[in-house]
Amino acid sequence: MKTLRRNGYTSAVRRIVCCFSILFCGVFTRAVEADAFAAVRAVDDERVAATVAADKVRLDQIYSDGLRYAHANGKIDDKAQHIAALADKKTSHDRFDYQVREFRLAGPGVVLMSGRLLIHTTSAKGKSVNDVNFLAVWREESGRWRLLDWQAAKNPAPLTTTN
């Protein structure tokens, strides 16, 4: 193998170092993504538990001060409005059943969570299940993952066929 010497390194050694650097960066990036996704999954599970419990203190810690929460019916809440609405218990959230929950790294300190969710609620009108698609934006703030944005869209009822 013919090599050229430059500054004490051969071009072959440089190529090897370059290849290992690229490989390391790819492995490192996947490890960072996996860590971020696990952390966001855990804090989202905590958010769900706090929502079911209508725990204002825990929700205040999980939600970003800049929270924008867009409900499937089009209503938009800020952080204070959303926590107050959950705490008044006019509608209680009984259970959240994720059908799909996926994560994507959008940039440093930002994770997108999307999927499909069945939200079981009880209100003065009775029990209901809302089938929604959602997009959530989680942002790392001072070392903690916080929910910055939530957008949900209600899925239509399944079509029925008649014979």
Q: Find out whether 138 and 111 touch, Cβ atoms under 8 Å.
A: yes
Rounded CA-CA distance 70/1 in Å is 63
By residue range, what is the domain housing residue 149? 10-154
- Which is higher by pLDDT, 65 or 29? 65
pLDDT at 32: 61
Residue 51 in domain: yes
Question: For position 49, which CATH number holds?
Answer: 3.10.450.50
Residue 159 in domain: no
Tokens, residue 69: 């929460």
Q: For the segment 115-147, what is each residue's pLDDT rounded down to a tens digit?
A: 999 999 999 999 999 999 999 999 999 999 999
pLDDT at 89: 85
* 9-10/5-6 β-pairing: antiparallel
Q: For the segment 148-163, what is each residue's pLDDT rounded down to a tens digit?
A: 999 999 998 876 666 6
Residue 20 in domain: yes
**Residue 61: HSE in the Cβ half-sphere, 13 Å Cα cutoff:** 10
Q: Find out whether 135 and 155 touch, Cβ atoms under 8 Å.
A: no
Q: Find out whether 108 and 36 touch, Cβ atoms under 8 Å.
A: no
Residue 163 in domain: no
CA dihedral for 140, 144, 147, 148, sign (positive or negative):
negative
Determine the Cα angle at 107 with ends 101 and 108, to 5°. 110
Residue 2 in domain: no
Residue 1 in domain: no
Query: What confidence tier does 21 reach under pLDDT thresholds 50, 70, 90?
Result: low
Tokens, residue 85: 């609405």
Residue 161 in domain: no
Rounded CA-CA distance 29/19 in Å is 15
Number of domains in the chain: 1
Residue 101 in domain: yes
